[in-house]
């Protein structure tokens, strides 16, 4: 018999075996689905009922790549992400044939260009701004745009290394997040803001209390420029940080001082801080021990309590004030959080920021307390709006995650991030080269600063922080736009012409 005959015989046999295995597998799945009681769809529709779960899980990916329009998707649409990707790659970010942005949507920001803007050689350039003038070691921050708090643990080792090196290249600061300071935060030699969360990871004693000795050790590092006391974050106001057990490996457990492979859940607030008086006492203590500027990070739920804070500061004197206040919007959130808190709690940054700025300015504390804005600030329009509203600095977390290669897979809390940004799986981390991604981080930061300076130049000012509320218009429900200073009248010389 010919060779061709035997080849066909073997192929036929292989095909029959394949059909047999498929039928056997279908029978096994049929019996399993019929017997199980957890899923009613699979029990009533064995085998084919499994496709419902498959399509549900794949739905978000199909929407992202095939069905969602450029400006439809949440939490960040394709237009927002693409701008970051192009900026991180150093590509041309100009567009042609008109904007795809719908400027009739209420809340849309429109910047008011000057009739006679400065000439090209008078281009708006960023100047350093001092934080903590009364501290022994004040910080002259070189950039208005910086990296927000993301812990080592929530982020992978190569991601933190890339952020550290990229921050150094772009001359921006890197916030450690509440998980303590790892060697990888320091690797690039960038300026570091040490965040003290409710669990006080990295600066706590054996009983979990704040340790002055640990504070001094951290402050002795020349890279550490400031300390930030985290009261709340936008992802989960009223609840402490959550690091799933799958992410708590030996190294992270040692840095944080917690058991390995055990979920890390921080207290919902600092146990020793019961009111504003206590908070100012703790701020003063940390500033005295470290000699560095000390501020707070929080989310605004109601404005009145913050009015009380500024009243207490005025009663005790401006020296008692926090050196900065970071306002995180309720729309913030890079880490694991319960859906009700992520979706429903906390004032949005576009309402919270101008209100707290006004409380500060009413008391004449404009130059004493620096305001930092956070919460979905990933594009130049977001950052420029925040500066117009009164922010001295803007920080971004998810913007820099995109610059690292994040594809918005929404798996940050699962340890299965496909791009290696938020996973501790060595196989998945291999896709993130820190040296390459550091360049992208730096290019994103540099592009953001440049394009905000471009907006500042267009509205007619010489430095981005000279932009005021009158320079941005907000679209109303009837389609008209009005200047932001008509919605939020300003109280300081900084915010008026």
96-141 pLDDT per residue, tens: 666 667 777 888 899 999 998 888 777 778 899 999 999 999 999 9
Residue 3 parent element (H or E): helix 3-35
Residues 270 and 414 placed together within one structural domain of the fold: yes
348-381 pLDDT per residue, tens: 899 999 999 999 999 999 999 999 999 888 899 9
Tokens in use for 412? 């940050």
Residues 138 and 23 placed together within one structural domain of the fold: no
* Final residue before a domain boundary, out of 50, 67, 84: 67
Name the strands in the sheet holding 481-483, side by side, starting at the edge strand that comes first in the sequence: 109-111, 472-475, 481-483
Residues 130 and 37 placed together within one structural domain of the fold: no
Beta strands 294-298; 242-243: pairing state:
unpaired
What is the C-alpha separation between 497 and 492, in angstroms, rounded? 10
Is residue 471 within 8 A of residue 390, CB to CB? The reply is no
Query: Could you count the other beta carbons within 10 Å of the beta carbon of residue 31?
Result: 11
310 or 267, which is more confident? 310
Query: Could you count the other beta carbons within 10 Å of the beta carbon of residue 205?
Result: 13
What is the C-alpha separation between 257 and 155, in angstroms, rounded? 18
C-alpha torsion 198→438→226→297, nearest 10: -40
The residue to which tokens 């021990």 are assigned? 289
Helix (H, G, I), strand (E, B) or coil at 105: coil
Nearest to 286 by CA among 194, 180, 371: 194
Determine, yes or no, domain membership for 84.
no
Residues 156 and 223 placed together within one structural domain of the fold: yes
217-258 pLDDT per residue, tens: 999 999 999 999 999 876 556 666 677 777 777 887 787 777
Tokens in use for 162? 């890339």
- The stretches of 111-225 forming alpha helices (DSSP H) are 157-170, 183-186, 212-219
Helix (H, G, I), strand (E, B) or coil at 253: helix
pLDDT band with cut points at 50, 70 and 90 for residue 340: low
237 or 449, which is more confident? 449
Q: What is the CATH number of the domain that holds 441?
A: 3.20.20.70
At residue 455, does pLDDT exceed 80? yes
What is the C-alpha separation between 366 and 318, in angstroms, rounded? 11
Determine, yes or no, domain membership for 405.
yes
Q: What are phi and psi of 201, to 5 degrees?
A: -55, 130
Residues 25 and 149 placed together within one structural domain of the fold: no
Residues 129 and 61 placed together within one structural domain of the fold: no
What is the C-alpha separation between 303 and 248, in angstroms, rounded? 37
Residue 61 parent element (H or E): helix 50-62
pLDDT band with cut points at 50, 70 and 90 for residue 64: low
Residue 390 CA from chain centroid, whole number = 20
Per-residue pLDDT, 238: 60
What is the C-alpha separation between 372 and 15, in angstroms, rounded? 65
Determine, yes or no, domain membership for 148.
yes
* Final residue before a domain boundary, out of 48, 67, 86: 67
- The stretches of 107-182 forming alpha helices (DSSP H) are 157-170
197-216 pLDDT per residue, tens: 988 998 988 888 899 999 99
Per-residue pLDDT, 342: 57
* Final residue before a domain boundary, out of 22, 46, 67: 67
- Residue 303's contacts (CB-CB under 8 Å, 6 or more residues apart) are 355, 356, 359
Is residue 129 within 8 A of residue 99, CB to CB? The reply is no
CA within 13 Å, CB half, 455: 26
Determine, yes or no, domain membership for 328.
yes
Residue 49 parent element (H or E): none
| Domain range enclosing 53 | 3-67
**How many domains does the chain divide into?**
2
Per-residue pLDDT, 497: 33
Tokens in use for 95? 């567009």
At residue 496, does pLDDT exceed 50? no
Nearest to 132 by CA among 275, 276, 290, 282: 290
Determine, yes or no, domain membership for 426.
yes
Q: What are phi and psi of 219, to 5 degrees?
A: -65, -25
Mean pLDDT over the full length of the chain: 84
Residues 181 and 45 placed together within one structural domain of the fold: no
CA within 13 Å, CB half, 301: 10
Residues 150 and 27 placed together within one structural domain of the fold: no
What is the C-alpha separation between 381 and 459, in angstroms, rounded? 13
Determine, yes or no, domain membership for 89.
no
Determine, yes or no, domain membership for 18.
yes
Most confident region among 59-73, 119-133, 409-423, 473-487 by mean pLDDT: 473-487
Per-residue pLDDT, 139: 98
Is residue 234 within 8 A of residue 328, CB to CB? The reply is yes
Determine, yes or no, domain membership for 198.
yes
C-alpha torsion 88→94→98→101, nearest 10: 20
CA-to-CA separations, 340 to 238, 327, 331, 445, in angstroms, rounded: 11, 20, 12, 32
What is the C-alpha separation between 366 and 357, in angstroms, rounded? 8
Residues 370 and 435 placed together within one structural domain of the fold: yes
Region 25-54 average pLDDT: 73
Residues 189 and 45 placed together within one structural domain of the fold: no
Residues 321 and 429 placed together within one structural domain of the fold: yes
Residues 145 and 50 placed together within one structural domain of the fold: no
Nearest to 408 by CA among 56, 84, 54: 84
């Amino acid at each position: 018999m010919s060779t061709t005959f035997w080849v066909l015989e073997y192929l036929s046999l292989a095909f029959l075996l394949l059909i047999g295995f498929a039928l056997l597998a279908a029978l096994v799945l049929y019996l399993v689905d019929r017997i199980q009681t957890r899923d009613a769809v699979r029990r009533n529709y064995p085998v084919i009922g499994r496709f419902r779960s498959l399509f549900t899980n794949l739905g978000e990916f199909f929407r992202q790549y095939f069905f969602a329009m450029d400006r439809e998707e949440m939490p960040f649409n394709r237009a927002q992400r693409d701008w970051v990707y192009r900026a991180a790659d150093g590509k041309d970010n100009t567009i042609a044939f008109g904007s795809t942005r719908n400027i009739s949507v209420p809340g849309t920001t429109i910047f008011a260009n000057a009739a006679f803007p400065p000439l090209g050689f008078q281009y708006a350039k960023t100047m350093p701004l001092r934080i903590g003038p009364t501290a022994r070691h004040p910080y002259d921050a070189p950039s208005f745009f910086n990296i927000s708090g993301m812990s080592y643990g929530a982020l992978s080792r190569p991601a933190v290394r890339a952020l550290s090196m990229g921050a150094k290249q772009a001359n921006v600061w890197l916030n450690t997040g509440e998980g303590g300071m790892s060697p990888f935060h320091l690797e690039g030699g960038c300026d570091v803001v040490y965040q003290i969360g409710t669990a006080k990871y990295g600066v706590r004693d054996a009983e979990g209390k704040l340790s002055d000795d640990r504070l001094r050790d951290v402050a002795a590092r020349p890279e550490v420029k400031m300390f930030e006391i985290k009261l709340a974050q936008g992802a989960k106001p009223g609840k402490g940080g959550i690091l799933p057990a799958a992410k708590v490996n030996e190294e992270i457990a040692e840095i944080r001082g917690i058991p390995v492979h055990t979920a890390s859940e921080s207290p919902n607030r600092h146990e020793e801080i019961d009111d504003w008086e206590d908070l100012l006492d703790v701020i003063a203590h940390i500033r005295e021990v470290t000699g560095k500027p000390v501020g707070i990070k929080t989310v605004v739920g109601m404005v009145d309590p913050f009015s009380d804070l500024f009243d207490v500061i005025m009663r005790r004197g401006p020296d008692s004030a926090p050196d900065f206040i970071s306002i995180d919007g309720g729309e913030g959130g890079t880490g694991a959080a319960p859906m009700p808190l992520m979706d429903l709690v906390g004032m949005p940054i576009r309402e919270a920021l101008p209100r707290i700025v006004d409380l500060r300015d009413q008391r004449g504390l404009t130059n004493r307390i620096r305001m930092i804005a956070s919460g979905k600030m990933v594009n130049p329009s977001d950052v420029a709006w925040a500066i117009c509203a009164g922010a001295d600095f803007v920080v971004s977390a998810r913007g820099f995650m995109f610059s690292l290669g994040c594809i918005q897979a929404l798996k940050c809390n699962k340890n299965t991030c496909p791009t290696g940004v938020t996973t501790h799986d060595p196989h998945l981390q291999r896709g993130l080269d820190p040296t390459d991604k550091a360049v992208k981080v730096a290019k994103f930061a540099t592009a953001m600063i440049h394009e905000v300076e471009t907006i500042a130049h267009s509205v007619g000012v010489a430095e981005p922080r000279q932009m005021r509320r009158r320079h941005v218009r907000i679209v109303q429900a009837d389609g008209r736009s009005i200047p932001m200073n008509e919605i939020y009248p300003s109280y300081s010389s900084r915010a008026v012409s």
